[in-house]
Amino acid sequence: MGMILVRYGEVALKGGNCSLFTRQLRRNIRDALKRHGIAGVVLEEGRRLYVETDEVEAALEPLSRVFGVVSLSPVAVVEPSIEAMQAEALRMAKRFGLSPAHTFRVASRRADKRFPFISPEIDRLVGGVVQDAAGAEVDLRGPADLTIGVEVQAGRALMYGETTPGPGGLPLPTAGRAIALMSGGIDSPVAAWMLMKRGCGVIPLHFSQNPTETEKALDNCRVLERYAYGWRIDPIVIPQEEILGPTAAKLRRLGAGRWTCIFCKRAMLLKAAEIAERLHAHAIVIGDSLGQVASQTLPNLEIVSYGVPKPILRPLIGMDKVEITKLARQIGTFDVSTRSAAPCAYLPARPITQGDLQEFLGLLEQLNALE
């Protein structure tokens, strides 16, 4: 049976609560294996997690999307002797195709202090035979072409030559749950993903404008589901007409159609807060980036947030479109978000960009007075 070493980072800093986080991380790793039909056992030894499975290569890809996992390495288990480590290091170098054109290094850790050689000595003794056999240059400063990892434990040594990065963060849903406003665009799924990375279980809420945008939003929810081990993405869809139609008509009657986007966004946030209360969610997540569009200027953000009884989380607020797009490509939502779009039927020709809160409150009073 093969073995995968699972590294976690921030989870280890949780002090007395560390066991709660590692317990959830183990559950989520098991969920990832189960969803992909991979048989395996998740073990915890000291401050290390291991997955024992006969399907190591198949397991690496889904495990690399488990929040809380920093990196993964398939490991070979050998006898805790220099000779066994040297033999395995030579096999790894041969599989890699190490040659004089490459650089390499040995990075060892002596967890079992009874082992007679300290880490620098292990590095030298194991690295020496590899260098003699392959003629490769040792690189201790930069990222070498091949890093051979060695971890000496009681009764065994673990060795690896491949590291797959994970997303890091915290395991779902250790941070609680939040309602994530989900459009068909680029920003909102990235914002939801960033909260998921912080261990927050998101409940997507989409206000349907037309079938095209709704399909894109739901497809992006399916992309997010690929990262939601330990959680289930269960989107809620509400017609936009239901929350905005009557208000938009009243705004037109008052000659204030330019305010439609602001009233729309605030109505969405108020509805999200109502749903959050019902579903025991603690916050609302939205994909605002400061100044990106009319409703995301600072004065307008003040207005749309006014009176919303739940915290509004804006993880993209300081990012520009290039940064957001790069992350969307990385997590897999970009292609869905950039499919052909259908315009919003309520979008005014010249939306308000620098709204005044007192003017908004006066307009809100007029709207409430209309039948």
- Whole-model pTM: value is 0.92
Structure confidence by residue, pLDDT tens digits, 52-63: 999 999 999 999
Confidence band (pLDDT; 50, 70, 90) for 12? confident
Under a CB-based contact definition with an 8 Å cutoff, are residues 148 and 122 in contact?
no
Confidence band (pLDDT; 50, 70, 90) for 371? low
Percent of the chain with pLDDT strictly greater than 70: 100
Under a CB-based contact definition with an 8 Å cutoff, are residues 236 and 275 in contact?
yes
Q: Average the pLDDT over each of 82-91, 243-252, 274-283 and give the range with the smallest value.
A: 243-252
**Which ranges in the chain are annotated with CATH 3.40.50.620?**
177-369
**Which ranges in the chain are annotated with CATH 3.30.2130.30?**
2-165
**What are φ and ψ of residue 111, in 5° steps?**
-75, -35
**306: closest CA among 360, 350, 244?**
360
**CA dist 42 to 30, 52, 69, 119, 124, Å?**
7, 7, 13, 28, 33
Sign of CA dihedral 266, 267, 272, 275: positive
Q: Which long-range contacts (CB under 8 A, 24 or more apart) does 225-229 make?
A: 226/65, 226/332, 227/65, 227/66, 227/67, 227/167, 227/193, 227/196, 227/331, 228/172, 228/196, 228/201, 229/28, 229/29, 229/31, 229/32, 229/35, 229/62, 229/65, 229/66, 229/67, 229/172
Confidence band (pLDDT; 50, 70, 90) for 72? very high
Say whether pLDDT at 370 is over 90. no
- Tally Cβ neighbours within 10 Å of residue 312: 18
Return the structure tokens found at 265.
């966004």
Q: Decide if domain 177-369 falls under CATH 3.40.50.620.
A: yes
Q: What is the pLDDT of residue 162?
A: 93
Topology of the domain comprising 2-165: VC0802-like (3.30.2130)
**262: closest CA among 342, 356, 327, 199?**
356
